[in-house]
């Protein structure tokens, strides 16, 4: 699986303090559960998901 690109938005200007606060939540792991399996990803990668995104599942349906 290819790594996701860094999430950036060149049109929004935020303060250094706001950026620090945002950075502190962007790497919080998030558990995603779906019928086909399970995986854990951080918020930064979750926000980059869109239609057609592929996730590498760590637990297959028969294992849970």
- Compute the distance between CA of residue 62 and CA of residue 53 in angstroms, rounded to an integer: 23
Q: Do the domain assignments include residue 57? A: yes
Band the pLDDT of 17: cuts 50, 70, 90.
Answer: very high
* Count of structural domains, the chain: 1
User: Is 20 part of any domain?
Assistant: yes
Question: For residue 48, is pLDDT > 80?
Answer: yes
| Measured distance CA(39)–CA(60) in Å, rounded | 9
**Does residue 36 belong to any structural domain of this protein?**
yes
Range of the domain at 20: 16-63
Query: What is the tens place of the pLDDT at every residue in 21-43?
Result: 888 888 888 887 656 677 888 99
Structure tokens at 52: 């057609």
Rounded CA-CA distance 45/49 in Å is 7
Q: Is residue 3 part of a domain?
A: no
Residue with tokens 């951080």: 42
Report pTM.
0.38
Residue 1 domain flag: no
* Nearest in space to 25 (alpha carbons), one of 55, 47, 53, 1: 47
């Amino acid at each position: 699986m290819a790594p996701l690109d860094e999430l950036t938005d060149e049109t929004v200007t935020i303060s250094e303090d706001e950026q620090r606060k945002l950075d502190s939540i962007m790497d919080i792991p998030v558990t995603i559960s779906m019928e086909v399996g399970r995986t854990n990803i951080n918020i930064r990668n979750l926000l980059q998901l869109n239609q057609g995104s592929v996730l590498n599942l760590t637990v297959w349906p028969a294992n849970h």
